């Protein structure tokens, strides 16, 4: 968001600095450390399909990973959606703490391996 407060000798005033004229993070942070590798690989693959793609939202809903994106080109959406669906499925079987493969939880909770249950 442009026009954030920055401190100068004369006090605080709103200005455009280099950091705040950048668009908001293009890749939101991964919600769980155990999913970081899945998420990083997803982004790598998404950029290969569409280098101008923007991830709108990454969130956890009822324990499940949900990734919302905007492709630069409608024609690329099917490939993009396939990549995301694959990672959303894989996340269900990945411990949110350490990334170990685990069983899909029976309840809407984050998956945890036996060590982290
Ligand atoms: Zn674990």
Quick: pLDDT tens for 58-102.
Answer: 999 999 999 999 999 999 999 999 999 999 999 999 999 999 999
76 assigned to some structural domain: yes
1 assigned to some structural domain: no
More confident residue, 102 or 14: 102
As for how many domains the chain has, the answer is 1
82 assigned to some structural domain: yes
Whole domain around residue 34: which residue ranges? 24-116
List the shell of residues around ion ligand 1, using CB closer than 5 Å: 95, 97-98, 100, 113, 116
CA of 57 to the centre of ligand 1 (A): 25
CA distances for 112 relative to 28, 36, 58, 69, 86, angstroms: 23, 15, 19, 26, 19
8 assigned to some structural domain: no
CA of 105 to the centre of ligand 1 (A): 13
**Residue 21 — very low, low, confident or very high, per pLDDT cuts 50/70/90?**
low
Q: What is the pLDDT of residue 1?
A: 47
The pTM for the full model equals: 0.76
C-beta neighbour count of 17 within 10 angstroms: 11
């Amino acid at each position: 968001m442009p026009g954030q407060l920055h401190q100068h000798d004369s006090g605080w005033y709103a200005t455009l600095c280099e950091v705040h004229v950048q668009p908001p993070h293009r890749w939101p942070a991964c919600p769980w450390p155990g999913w970081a590798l899945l998420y990083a690989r997803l982004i790598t693959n998404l950029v290969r399909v569409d280098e101008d793609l923007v991830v709108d939202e990454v969130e956890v809903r009822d324990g499940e990973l949900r990734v919302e994106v905007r492709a630069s080109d409608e024609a690329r959406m099917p490939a993009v959606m396939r990549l995301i669906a694959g990672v959303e499925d894989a996340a269900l079987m990945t411990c949110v703490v350490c990334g170990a493969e685990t069983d899909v939880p029976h309840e809407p909770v984050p998956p945890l391996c036996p060590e982290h249950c």
